[in-house]
Structures are given as C-alpha cells and as structure tokens.
Amino acid sequence: MSDERVKAEALQILGLFQVLPRLVVFDLDYTLWPFYCECRSKRDSPSLFRHARGIMYALKEKGIDMAIASRSPTPDIAKVFLDKLEFQSMFVAQEIFSSWTHKTEHFQKIQRKTGIPYKSMLFFDDENRNIEAVSKMGVTSVLVENGVNLDMFKLGLSNFATNCAASSRKDDE
C-alpha cells in the first residue's frame, strides 16, 4: 500500500473519532523502523515499517502534534536517520537518550516542552515495560509487535477515546 493510500485510510480512521489526542508519541526502534539504531551506521539508509509514513502524514494534515520518545544509546544515529527520512520538522519534541526509567523521564521532558497533559497523549512502543510505566502517568499507550500500522493506530485512537470518556465521567462525579 502506498504512503498516500495509507494516509487516506489513516485520515478515514481519524474521522471515526470525536475525541482525538493532542499529541501522538512514537518510539523509534521496532516501532517506526524495523531495527535498533545501535546496530546501524550513520552511512546506512533507514527504512520504515510500511504504514508509518502515511500515518504520520495523516496526523500532520489533521494538525495533531507528534513527538519521539526513544531510549536509544545512539541518539546521533537516530537523529541522522530522522534527517535522512526528512522527518526532523514533523516532531514538536524529540527525546532520544539512553535511560533506565522506562521512558517516564522522556515523557516528563515532552510534557514540559509542549505543555500538553499526559491524558491528552497517545503513545506507541514495542516494549511492554515502557507501555506499563507510561500508562501509569495517564498516557494512553499501545504495544506494537510489528511496528506501528493502521490496525494499531485505530486501536490506539479507540483506547484513547475510551480513556477520555472514562476520565470525563470521573470529572462529572
């Protein structure tokens, strides 16, 4: 499926939901692309999972901000790859650093930079420990097994809408 077709389908999926996240945060390794940066060289040409680019273009068109939260020990390589893919300008925050905090520190920095509350964020990652830790912060988090794709995107938006509805019911009580 071409990037344009994925974008069109992602826009249709976005249209199904009345409540959308203000910020979508992606991990890099095995979420946007099918490798670990530390196993690559800056000279390599990076590739993406096949739906990743179209999903990001749809989010950009809808005016939904995006950020990166990656625990890569080689942030220099990750940033070169984002440049090569022409993605640097797509992200309002890029927190790419090695950490033992399961991304809570990444999200604290993203929240400080953007001012967006955790409950208004949607996060995609391939590691369950990160999903569990970030979910406890109030972020709707989705575990991806073979990278971000349209099915996981729809699941994430559905979970986000459900969490928002539950949160607003609590506020009403």
- For 32-48, what is the mean pLDDT? 91
Q: Of residues 3, 29, 44, 65, which has the active-site annotation?
A: 29
Q: Between the CA atoms of 127, 42, 85 and 12, what dihedral angle is there, to the nearest 10 degrees?
A: -10
Is 65 an active-site residue? no
- Residue 170: which pLDDT band, with cuts at 50, 70 and 90? low
What confidence score (pLDDT) does residue 78 get?
Answer: 93
Q: Which residues contact 101 (CB under 8 A, 6 or more apart)?
A: 133
3-state secondary structure at position 52: helix
102: left (phi over 0), alpha (psi -120 to 50) or beta: left
Instruction: Render pLDDT for 122-165 as a digit per residue (tens, 0 to 9).
Output: 999 999 999 999 999 999 999 999 999 999 999 999 999 999 88
What confidence score (pLDDT) does residue 1 get?
Answer: 74
Q: Of residues 27, 65, 125, 126, which has the active-site annotation?
A: 27
Count of domains forming the chain: 1
Is 171 an active-site residue? no
Give the position of tokens 């984002």: 82
CA angle 154, 9, 130 (to 5 degrees): 35
Residue ranges making up the domain that contains 152: 1-169
Structure pTM?
Answer: 0.94
- Gap between the Cα atoms of 44 and 39, Å rounded: 10
Instruction: Render pLDDT for 53-85 as a digit per residue (tens, 0 to 9).
Output: 999 999 999 999 999 999 988 999 999 999 999
Domain with 28 in it: what CATH number? 3.40.50.1000
Which tokens sit at 153? 């995107």
Q: Which residue has the higher pLDDT, 148 or 89?
A: 148
What confidence score (pLDDT) does residue 164 get?
Answer: 87
